[in-house]
Amino acid sequence: MTTSLPTGRLGWTDMLLTRIGFGAWAVGGGGWAYAWGDQDDAESIAAIRHALESGVNWIDTAAVYGLGHSEEVVAAALAGLPEADRPYVFTKAGLVWDPADRTLAPRRADHPASLRAEVEASLRRLRVERIDLYQMHWPAEDGTAVEDYWQTFNDLKREGKVRAIGLSNHDICQLEAAQSIGNVDAIQPPFNLIHRNAADDVLLWAREHEAGAIVYSPMASGVHRRTRGPPGARRLAGRRPRLRRPGAVAQSRPGRGPAPGRRTPRRDARRRRHRLDAVLPRCDRGHRGGSAARAGRRLAARGDPGTERRRSGRHRRGHPCHRSRDRARIAFFLLCGSSPPAGSELGTT
């Protein structure tokens, strides 16, 4: 489908994805172990179509969402659309459930026969001849090697049942093991302003191997929608003193100093420093003249020979302060739609 929204290529594939996709976990409805509650299918279909009309060109679902119902809702929403207007459809395998008891938690299944049965069921529910991106939902929990089920995924790709293959919720060691069998087209880790471990972990792996990357829970399951900025910054803003007049600077009062709550240059500098301390990593604070920098200057004044060595050490690549800034940059790309690092495309579900 054509779209007016910014797009980026998903790794080595020929798919150009919009920065935001439609995540179909919740539309699976209630009545199963990891449900988000009952949903109105008509409203879910309307939401999907509204996303497509707005330019979103991919949908991410999974067989386990609603125990198959999410895929059926996606198929209903796409029914009747011309081929040129159809979005890319992604789904996942590796979690199976007991039809006799929907309340039981799904179990991980990674045997070739199970995966082949799952892909056939997903093709039938989605009413498509080929799945655009087929992902292993979670690693095996019974000790089965990644290479075993990744070989099955590569076979499905060669047979034309899936267009691209990916791994969700896998760590770097597992990605390396899979890469030795066949190319990992895409990964899908959780990533948001609260859970940022993927920024200097699997997302860096994806960049180095030029694999695509989409992330889930970018809004932390609704947490970010209820706040305005980092939690520390919000708490600090709540303690900010009120000023009697915007931009007012207090005048000194003989014998008593400035009036409480009034602005002075010294108080303004202190407030700026505290606001930065609320959102910057601890090791970054010395870069803008905080306590670490002042301590370094005191040591230098005493002639400490290790001062320059310690000071320069903060600027080495790989130091935690640089990793923190890398994570912040990726978060900025995710929230603002800027271009992510080369070779890694960030989408949302």
172 closest CA partner among 144, 209, 135: 209
Summarised one tens digit per residue, pLDDT across range 74-125 is 999 999 999 989 999 999 999 999 999 989 999 999 899 999 999 999 999 9
Q: Do 11 and 131 share a structural domain?
A: yes
Considering the domain architecture, whether residues 154 and 236 belong to the same structural domain is answered as no
pLDDT band at 51 (very low <50, low <70, confident <90, very high): very high
pLDDT tops 90 at residue 229: no
Does some domain include residue 1? no
157 and 273 co-located in one domain: no
Say if residue 337's pLDDT is above 50. no
Same domain for 237 and 100, yes or no, is no
CA gap 257, 10 in Å, rounded? 61
- CA dist 31 → 35, 76, 143, 334 (Å): 7, 20, 30, 32
Catalytic residue positions, numbered: 65
Mean local confidence (pLDDT), 326-341: 47
Question: According to the model, what pLDDT value does residue 223 have?
Answer: 75
Per-residue pLDDT tens digits for 175-190: 999 999 999 999 999 9
- Whether the Cβ atoms of residue 252 and residue 210 lie closer than 8 Å to each other: no
Query: Which pLDDT does position 274 carry in this prediction?
Result: 54
Comparing 262 with 136, the larger pLDDT belongs to 136
Which pLDDT does position 157 carry in this prediction? 97
Residue 227 has pLDDT above 80, yes or no: no
Residues whose CB is less than 8 angstroms from the CB of residue 31 and which lie 6 or more positions away in sequence, other chains included = 38, 102, 103
**212 within a domain of the structure (yes/no):** no
Residue-level pLDDT at 64: 96
Among 66, 65, 24, residue whose Cα is nearest residue 45: 24
Average pLDDT over residues 306-328: 45
Answer yes or no: are the C-beta atoms of 174 and 308 closer than 8 Å: no
Say if residue 268's pLDDT is above 60: yes
Q: Token pair for residue 336?
A: 């603002």
Question: pLDDT-derived band of residue 144, with 50, 70 and 90 as boundaries?
Answer: confident
Q: Are residues 162 and 305 in the same domain?
A: no
Same domain, 271 and 181: no
Domain limits for position 275: 228-242+260-325
Report the alpha-carbon distance of residue 134 to residue 152 in Å, rounded. Answer: 11
Residues 13, 164 contacting (CB under 8 angstroms): yes
Please report the pLDDT score of residue 263 as a whole number: 63
Same domain membership, residue 266 and residue 120: no
Cα(286)–Cα(232) distance, integer angstroms: 19
Q: What is the pLDDT of residue 261?
A: 56
Q: Identify the H or E element spanning 182.
A: none
Residues 237-264, mean pLDDT to the nearest whole number: 45
pLDDT at 256 over 80: no
Percent of the chain residues past pLDDT 70, beyond the cut: 64
Number of domain units in the chain: 2
Tokens of 33: 């172990």
Within a domain: 83: yes
pLDDT category at 200 given cuts 50, 70, 90 is confident
Q: Are residues 184 and 286 in the same domain?
A: no
Q: What per-residue string of b and e applies to 5-26 under the rule 16 or more CB within 10 Å gives b? A: eebbebbebebebbbbbbbbbb
pLDDT (0 to 100) of residue 225: 61
**pTM for this predicted structure:** 0.65
Specify the range with the lowest mean pLDDT, choosing from 26-30, 137-141, 288-292. 288-292
